[in-house]
Each structure stands twice: as C-alpha cells, then as structure tokens.
Structure 1
Amino acid sequence: MIYNLQILRAFAAIMVFFYHSEIYWKDILPSTWFFGLGLAGVDIFFVLSGFIMAATTASRDITASSFLSHRIFRVVPLYWIITLFFTFLFLSGFNPVGVTELTPEYFLKSLFFIPFLRSGAAEPIVTVGWTLNYEIFFYLIFSICLLIPRIQLRHPAVAILILITLLPRFFGFQNFYATYYGNPIILEFGFGIACYHCLAWMEKTCEPNRILPFAAAFLALSLVFLLAPAFTFSGTGASSYFSAFVRPFTWGLASFFIVLSAVSLERAGHIWRRFGFIEIGNASYSIYLIHGLMLHGASKVAKILSSDPLTFALVTTIGALVLSIAAGLIMFRYVEAPLNKSLRGSFTRFLAKPSPSTG
C-alpha cells in the first residue's frame, strides 16, 4: 500500500463533498468559485485509478479475468447496495437526492454501468455513479490490454486505446455513446499510467534524498493547473466545463502532478499519518457514494433547527461531512471490506478447484 495515495483518496472524496455542498452557500457568499474546485476530486480519482492499475500489473503477469474480477469485486457490490437503497427510498415515497423519476430501464442501466439520459443529464440513479461508468469502461480497456503477452507493451497500449475513444469527436459522430465515451476526461486515466512510468524512471535515476525537491516542484505545478480555470469556471457552470478539453489539461494535469508529488514524498520517507486520513482514504469509496444522501438528510434537519441562512448552511455542511465520514468508515469496515474479501476468496477457490477432467 502507498499510504500517501490513501491520504490523497481522502482529500479527493472530501473535495467532491464540498463541491456538492456549494448549493447551500451560493445565496450567502458573494462568490463560491472555490467550491467548484472540489469537482477536481473526480479528476484525482481518475488519475489515481490509472496509476494504481499500472503499478499493480507492471511487475507481475496477471490474467485479464483475474484483474477484471478483482476490480468488479471492489466496485460493484457496494454500488449495487447503494443503488438498491436509493430505489427502495424512491418507491417508499421519499425523494433521495437526484432521483426525481425511476423506470425499470433506468434501474437496470444503472446497475450495469450503461450510460443514459435522465432529466437531461447522463447520470445513473446514484448521481455520482457517472464516474463509475467511466471507471468500468477503463477497466474493460485495461483488461483487454492484459491479453498482450509482453508486460512492457501493455500500458502504452492502454493510453492508445483511450486516445482512440476521442476519434468520434473529431469525425463529428452524433451517437450518444460515442459522445459519452469520447469525453476528454478519460484521458486522465492515461495520465495516471504516465504518472507511474515517470515515477519508475525517477526511482531508477534519483536517490531517495534527491526526490524531495522534485516533489515540491510537482506540488507547485499542481496548484498552478488546479487554479488555472478559476476565472472562467464556477461550481454552477460544470456542464460546459465538463465537456471541454480544458478540463483534462488543467485539472487532469493538476491531478497528475498531485499524484506524482504524493508518491515522490513517500519515496523520500514523508508520510502524513495524522488525523486518521489513511483510514478515511480506505473508506473514500463508501464516503463518495453516500455523501450526497448525507447532505440531503442533514439539510432537512438543519431546516428544522434554524431559519437563519448561515446557520442552515453551517449545520448542513458540517453535519453532513461528519455523517459522511462516520457512515463511510462503518460501511467500509462492516460491508465494503468484508464483501470484497469474501468475493475475492470465493473466486480464488473457484479457480483453484480442479476440473473433473483433472480429477
């Protein structure tokens, strides 16, 4: 485990939380552009994903089926549980955040990571699940690349396949799926792979005590790229920004340098173990999936407690953040981690079981 990456996961999840809390502050603060920066947490997750996939398969021969099954066991069970819970709430007469309509088609497509338009947006029942559609797409591409016999050829092949998905944009195809999967944000998975190779090169050419200046430079560059679009983007203008190439080449590059800096710092012996951020990072997936529901619930309670706009916003934001982290930690410990371990163990035993022909 690279501890600094777990800490980075924690920060990314909290960033996305604050992005979604902007709605409670926009009528109070004169400007909320800094809330919009929280959306870059998604970009960090994407770069992290590319980096981890490259790092975990670079030095060992892993089969495509083993890789894909492990990723499915990691992502799918908890997502299905949350999707079923949202569906139950909706059918019970409640309105979970982001769910204003529900059909069998929406339900099935949400479960199987098939993008579709709902209320004008390409979002599944669990709204933040749009990122998982891209994650699963990347996993499929990566698993295909694992079929290439020579390990050293796999990661550039993944980058090429990601770039190929952009071709429909240049040829002007109007198909929904071509446009959806051709979103430039998927380049960020490639950035993660490139990040791994940069670090591998640094480890071969630099002594650990010489890495620290590079880490500081990477961190400075990440801040430059993170703040670059600040004057042209606010939290309420995400739709136009999301579809533009500017995102991967600002926030995507910022995430690239943040990941590069985090791993470089750990290689130099600097790990930030304070305030339970490693534990929060472990639970970041659970936190990411449920934070919207926590914000929605906290806002209902805050509305009862106070009619003052500032108090309402503070109670909602702080209360939802505490609830998201607490619930995420509980879900990780008692649901996510045990499920993942059990499914992986079952799959391993299934593969080890001798076939009838071998006795």
Structure 2
Amino acid sequence: MRHRAPGSRSSAVPSGRDRLPSLTGLRFWAALLVVTYHLSRQVGQIPGASELAWYGRSGVTFFFVLSGFVLAWTYDGKQIPAKVFLRRRFARIWPLLATTTVLSVGVWLALGKAVSTKAVAATLLLVNAWIPDQVILRGGNPAAWSLSDEAWFYLIFPALMALPAVRSGRGRRWIWVTVCVGVVLAWLSGALIDSGVPRVWALDYLPLTRTLQFLLGVVAGLAVARGWRPPIGLWSAVSLVIGWHLALIPWSGAVPDALWYSPYQASQLLSTPLFALLVAAAAHADLSGRTTGLGGQWAIRLGHWSFAWYLIHEIVIRVWVARHGRPEGASDTAVVWLVVIAVSLTLSACAYRWVEHPLERRLRGSGPGAAAGGGRVGEERHTAEVVRPN
C-alpha cells in the first residue's frame, strides 16, 4: 500500500460505518428531492414545495458526484483486484435492482399495462441507459436507469484512478476546471440536438455525459483524502445549492421545458460543481470532527434506506394514481404526498432490512475477496456505494 502523507485523514475521525455520517444524511435529502420531483409532476403540486422541487431530478446528479467521491476516498492507496471491486459493486446494487424490477413489472401487469421483455432484460443487464428508447429506458423500473450509468462508472473507475492527472494535485485542479467547462458545453450542445427523446437521452441518461459528474466526484474525493480543504464551509455549500434551485423558479416560468435552454437539462448539468463542493464540505466537516446536524441516528438510518426509497417510491406513486387519480386542491395533494412518502419509506426500510443488506452480505461473503473481510457490509454504508472496503 502506498504511503499516505501525515494528516491526510484525521486520526480523530470515528471508524467503521459512522466515518462520514454527514454524507449518509445527505443521501436522504437528495432522495427526498427526487421523490418530491416525481410527486409534483405525477401526483399534483403543493405551492412552494413543488416550485423548489420542480427540477429535483438534479438529485441524481448529486448521487453521481457522491458516487465518485466516496469510491475515490475509499480506494485511494488500496490495492484491490478489479474482479473483487466489481463483485462488491454488483453485490451492492444488483439484488435490490432485481427485486424492485420484479415489483415494478408486477405492478405494470396488475394495472393492465404491457411490459416490454427487452426493456426488462436491458434493465437487469444494466445497459438500458445506453439505448435511446423511452420504452427501454423506463420499461423495467423507471428509476433504475441511473444504475446503468453507475455500472459504467464502476467499469471505468480503476482506469480513472490510474490516470496521472487524477493522481496529482495540479492535474486534479485542471480536471475540475475542465469538467466545469464540459458541463456547460454539454448543456449548450442541446441546441444542436433534435428536441424530444434524442436530446433528453443524450443529456440526461447517456452514461458518457454523466461521466463528467462522476469524474468530478473522483477528483474531489481524492483531494479531500489528501488533506484538501474546500473553499467554502458546509452550510455555505448548502445555501448555494438551495439558491441554485430557487433561481430555477423564475427561469422555469420564462422558458418552457421543451426548449433546449430551459432549466430542465441545466438543472442537472450545471449543478455538478455545486454538488461537488457540498459533498467535499460535508466530508471535510466530518473528518475535522465537527457536528453538522446531518449525521444523527435517524439521519443515518434514513440515509441507509435512501437507495431502496429511490427505486421504490415511483412504483407507489404509480399505484396510487392508477387507483385514485390525481387529487384536487393543495390540501388533498399534501395528504397524498404524505401517504406516498410514508408508505414508500416503510417499504424501503423493509427492503433494506430483508433484501438489500442480507443479500449484499451473502454475495460479498461468498466471492473473491471474502477472506479479506468482503462480507462485512455493515461497516461500509455511506452512499449509493459502499464506503469502506475491507
């Protein structure tokens, strides 16, 4: 293992699963942003909350940045065979993906909707985000497209970590600047792409486009692991993210989503550096031993449930709307929101306890690297990935 410079990781930081508790807490808030986005658009709007969450799909951008950050921070300096790394990632995401896809397909069939076998296969094979077809993208479990992107990130992660530019401080600074320019150029490229599915697929789903977000997370994670202090504190970063979403409200009123320069793609692409600052600031606060208010017992528990919540909540929304329709009036809409949130969170807690956690433990404990402690998943959860490798 490569020698690490003194002070690059605080010796006062707790060990095990609570090492970066604020990142676990932030997972819940990012998932909530996605959930309220879907509630606003599929169930009905609540004044104030819906305006703020209208482009809450940006929560997926947060998770992609967080994924790169945590993997880089975790595996920096560790010699892990690629097959062990990929098996751990498979054990982390695939059992719950398969379970929720079966649930989603069952709901489609119970509601009398046709289900594409190709879409289900593409979802389970983690390749659906590469195919510019709405049926393929959404036909298994609509939320599962992001795991196709994650699978791509896992494949390229070892190569990214080996790049000389990623390994040097100067190189990471150039990558940060390049990614910031790149996400702006990606957004501007929407002017060159036909409207509808081609543009949405290219800018929202395509793993190559989303790689910029993962890459920025990687360089931020390595920088923090090696002692970098973010230029702003945690709550300043939180304020920037909230301010960004507030700025989208008048923009949304002025430009319809169908136009390339609307906030729809901008909210997901241009938020990348803001989320990188947020994740880095939260991690630095934890490593410095500061209390952030994001890492309490319930915050961590909700963060653990957030992966299942992300995959389950839209299924619950789908069932409610099919059975009861969209509510009328803000008060009725608020009640439905609360019911959907409560039911989907309860199902997510059950899925975490009886599906996600035990199956991950079993898969990790029976494959390559198990002898090195690969089954101890209870100590490794902080993001949509596993934080502490064994």
- Which of the five TM-score ranges fits, normalised by the shorter chain? 0.7 to 0.9
Q: CA deviation at 1:188?
A: 1.0
3-state SS of paired residue (2:78) = coil
CA 1:236/1:330 → structure 2, altered by over 3 Å: closer, same or farther?
farther
Identify the residue that residue 76 of structure 1 maps to in structure 2.
94
Q: CA deviation at 1:52?
A: 0.8
Identify the residue that residue 195 of structure 1 maps to in structure 2.
220
Does residue 114 (structure 1) correspond to residue 114 (structure 2)? The answer is no
Q: CA deviation at 1:3?
A: 0.5
List runs of 5+ in structure 1 lacking aligned partners.
353-359
List runs of 5+ in structure 2 lacking aligned partners.
1-18, 373-390
Assess if the C-alpha contact under 8 Å between 1:126 and 1:289 holds in 2. Answer: yes
Does residue 103 (structure 1) correspond to residue 125 (structure 2)? The answer is no
Identify the residue that residue 355 of structure 1 maps to in structure 2.
none
Cα RMSD between the aligned structures? 4.0
Identify the residue that residue 58 of structure 1 maps to in structure 2.
76
Does residue 15 (structure 1) correspond to residue 33 (structure 2)? The answer is yes
1:289-332 deviations in Å (ceiling 9; x for gaps): 000122233446766xx975334312210011111211111110
Identify the residue that residue 311 of structure 2 maps to in structure 1.
289
Mean alpha-carbon deviation: is it higher for 325-334 or for 214-223?
A: 214-223
CA 1:25/1:60 → structure 2, altered by over 3 Å: closer, same or farther?
same
Structure with the bigger RCO (C-alpha within 8 Å, sep 6+) is: 2
Assess if the C-alpha contact under 8 Å between 1:223 and 1:254 holds in 2. Answer: no
How many pairs are equivalent? 332
Q: Which amino acid aligns with 2:275?
A: S
CA 1:245/1:318 → structure 2, altered by over 3 Å: closer, same or farther?
closer
Mean alpha-carbon deviation: is it higher for 222-231 or for 271-280?
A: 222-231
Does residue 280 (structure 1) correspond to residue 329 (structure 2)? The answer is no
Identify the residue that residue 352 of structure 2 maps to in structure 1.
332
CA 1:182/1:239 → structure 2, altered by over 3 Å: closer, same or farther?
farther
Of 247, 269, 293, 1:248 maps to: 269
Identify the residue that residue 356 of structure 1 maps to in structure 2.
none
1:182-234 deviations in Å (ceiling 9; x for gaps): 66333111121132134235x36x6xxxx896334433433344444333237
Q: CA deviation at 1:119?
A: 4.6
Instruction: Find the aligned partners of 2:336 and 2:366 in 1 and give their Cα distance.
Output: 41
Q: CA deviation at 1:148?
A: 7.2
1:158-202 deviations in Å (ceiling 9; x for gaps): x79x97xx7xx79x899x79886366333111121132134235x
Between Structure 1 and Structure 2, the one with more helix by share is 1
Instruction: Find the aligned partners of 1:309 and 1:318 in 2 and give their Cα distance.
Output: 15
Q: Which amino acid aligns with 1:128?
A: A
- Give the structure-1-normalised TM-score: 0.77
Identity %: 22
Mean alpha-carbon deviation: is it higher for 177-186 or for 7-16?
A: 177-186
Instruction: Find the aligned partners of 1:222 and 1:3 in 2 and give their Cα distance.
Output: 20
Instruction: Find the aligned partners of 1:312 and 1:121 in 2 and give their Cα distance.
Output: 34
Identify the residue that residue 137 of structure 1 maps to in structure 2.
152
Instruction: Find the aligned partners of 2:44 and 2:327 in 1 and give their Cα distance.
Output: 14
Instruction: Find the aligned partners of 1:333 and 1:236 in 2 and give their Cα distance.
Output: 42
Q: CA deviation at 1:266?
A: 1.6
3-state SS of paired residue (2:367) = helix
Instruction: Find the aligned partners of 1:13 and 1:236 in 2 and give their Cα distance.
Output: 25
Of 126, 143, 167, 1:128 maps to: 143
- Give the structure-2-normalised TM-score: 0.71
Q: CA deviation at 1:351?
A: 7.4
CA 1:32/1:108 → structure 2, altered by over 3 Å: closer, same or farther?
same
Mean alpha-carbon deviation: is it higher for 294-303 or for 309-318?
A: 294-303
